[in-house]
Structure 1
């Protein structure tokens, strides 16, 4: 790939189910089995109660809003999203779960409109409607021409990386893993006899070494390796010690970028050995608008991460973070005050990394190659 630069778009959880599914052109059954909400349309009403009516049915582009303009202008080589929603008409609610996400397969244009190169599926909602729901999800995504990573009909498919060709002849390999700490039930793991997710029972040195071996077997000269991990709790800025060590062990073993998600708001940004570690990208598309209880974390604010990586070395060449805000279940530009809040918060929680304002209103690492 020579001495060029590969640009990746990364974001956190894309949750096109439940309330979002209900405002699209082909809503599935609104029935839920939650303690307090039994109809997904209630989440639409909550959003409308704080920010005004949603003009349902909305166009497939509606939930992405301003993010589509950001993507068009940035022109990333590779787009990676964590699709935290099953794509199914199945009605077999997974037992023992408080929340279930599904979108109707006919609403897939609301995903394809963003033109993702890889949909990460190693998360705690892809089997919300059991293994039949997972298999319908895999079939629907494949039928739409979308690459997936992190779930499959057996371990070979679940653990296999998605390979995306990039200009210059190399590839970006996206490996996806789901950790128990994110709430994935152990029996969701893919086995030779069962479909499931690429599962991490623990974030230990042993499991990190196994991931590194897997990456090295697949990675060829000229490839960049991304490990996308669903890990950790929903709220709070503290990064557990085992997560820090796990991410650094991956980098030590040859991983070029760690893409972490699960938290509902952004968590610290780390640069380790000139490689980027995103400990939590926060939600990107969801139906949480109007839900109270964690206002201090400003989960209405979202970030589009645009990462530049040196094609020949894998080193971080730059990071641009575009702040967005959700209103009426649609992403819009974040106001100046919210951009300042995000910058100061990320700067405070990301030890060793300085977050600076960019002239275009986005956020950037002040000196990406100089951090930790």
Structure 2
């Protein structure tokens, strides 16, 4: 990957789910009580992970959960680091009647700072797990730590506004939205008088035009635009035609340079459309599912760190992928059979969109497509 300007290198992470077991091993564990059908104490998720892969020290420092990812950040030095924060950051609120409610103690927000995270997408199906109080605490906590965010706000204008991030020689506009099929109910949508998330009713031309208007209102000449979208269910490699059409429309008609998709707990296909990157599903960056059985065919414990290089016009120059494996509630390097599974899965799923992957000297993968720059 080249590092000369005017190229911009972005790190894009999938779902950062730093609640329950993750929160319990950090320096300031929050209230461990859960309101789930089977599990009533967050520490049980730590014990499940320990049964699978061995003992986990407690407390750990804030760098622990990031593990090998920190080495990649130091080596690659991306200009911006963007993730989907799928956790309320609060001590307050009432658990919403939805079965699973995520929250992290605000005192543990240095978890994001130690990794140098610049901006969080907040439009997802867990941000309001603890009601409006939890949402407002999340917003104020991120603001207090200098962490930018998009996709939620005290009203619709705030929720749909982009985070404006500085780049060498320009700006990046980061928008975030969520769809109903990712588990975001209609009453979570921000409106003129109600806090909430930036929610799309559907993937219709009307929704596309709504986003296009927002981008036109915010964009200046030279800006690059990333749109983060939480869409689809938790499991399944299939990409619905309506997602493909919507992604293409965002690039063709709304001025989006890169689409950062997520929701499924496993990696999904990657497409390069007219030299613009579409990540249909980044998988989970960090969660506490390590000791939970089920859906083994999807290998939710395996993931990728996405490093995208864009030119001055927002076109994709290179995408490097670092394979990861979650072990002992920490992001580790995927090796051997795990790395091979990721390579085979990427080759199969990306092949449907005319893309492939090749191994790199850093034990990762590089995306290749028909018009890959030399």
Question: Structure 1-normalised TM-score?
Answer: 0.97
Distance 1:367 1:238 in 2: 20
**TM superposition shift of 1:344:** 1.2
Secondary structure (helix, strand or coil) at the match of 1:354 reads: strand
**TM superposition shift of 1:366:** 2.1
**TM superposition shift of 1:368:** 6.3
Match of 1:22 among 24, 46, 49: 24
Distance 2:160 2:149 in 1: 10
Give the aligned partner of residue 249 of structure 2. Answer: 249
Within 5 Å, which residues of 2 pair with 1:119-158?
119-158=120-159
Distance 1:92 1:210 in 2: 32
Distance 1:164 1:83 in 2: 17
**Please, what is the CA RMSD of the aligned residues?**
1.3
After superposition, the C-alpha distances for 1:30-61 in whole angstroms (9 at most, x for unaligned) are 11111111111110000000000110101011
Distance 1:370 1:103 in 2: 41
Secondary structure (helix, strand or coil) at the match of 1:366 reads: strand
Distance 1:368 1:175 in 2: 28
**TM superposition shift of 1:91:** 4.2
Distance 2:368 2:280 in 1: 18
Give the aligned partner of residue 34 of structure 2. Answer: 32
Distance 2:369 2:278 in 1: 15
Distance 1:242 1:30 in 2: 40
Distance 1:346 1:124 in 2: 26
User: Which consecutive unaligned segments of at least 5 residues does structure 1 have?
Assistant: none
Give the aligned partner of residue 205 of structure 2. Answer: 205
- Whether 2:120 is the aligned partner of 1:94: answer no
Q: Is the 8 A contact 2:317 2:372 kept in 1?
A: no
Give the aligned partner of residue 218 of structure 1. Answer: 218
Match of 1:82 among 81, 84, 87: 84
Distance 1:278 1:23, change over 3 A: same
Distance 1:218 1:316 in 2: 22
Distance 1:76 1:59 in 2: 23
Secondary structure (helix, strand or coil) at the match of 1:349 reads: helix
**TM superposition shift of 1:369:** 3.1
Give the aligned partner of residue 116 of structure 1. Answer: 117
- Whether 2:87 is the aligned partner of 1:59: answer no
Give the aligned partner of residue 307 of structure 1. Answer: 308
Distance 1:369 1:217, change over 3 A: farther
Secondary structure (helix, strand or coil) at the match of 2:65 reads: coil
Secondary structure (helix, strand or coil) at the match of 1:68 reads: helix
**TM superposition shift of 1:156:** 1.1
Give the aligned partner of residue 179 of structure 1. Answer: 179
After superposition, the C-alpha distances for 1:266-293 in whole angstroms (9 at most, x for unaligned) are 0000111110000000001110001011
User: Which consecutive unaligned segments of at least 5 residues does structure 2 have?
Assistant: none
Secondary structure (helix, strand or coil) at the match of 2:371 reads: helix
Match of 2:12 among 7, 10, 16: 10
**TM superposition shift of 1:163:** 0.8
Distance 2:311 2:244 in 1: 23
Give the aligned partner of residue 270 of structure 1. Answer: 271
| Greater mean deviation of Cα atoms: 80-89 or 203-212 | 203-212
Distance 2:372 2:331 in 1: 33
Give the aligned partner of residue 371 of structure 2. Answer: 369
- Whether 2:291 is the aligned partner of 1:282: answer no
**TM superposition shift of 1:112:** 1.2
Secondary structure (helix, strand or coil) at the match of 1:36 reads: coil
Give the aligned partner of residue 342 of structure 2. Answer: 342
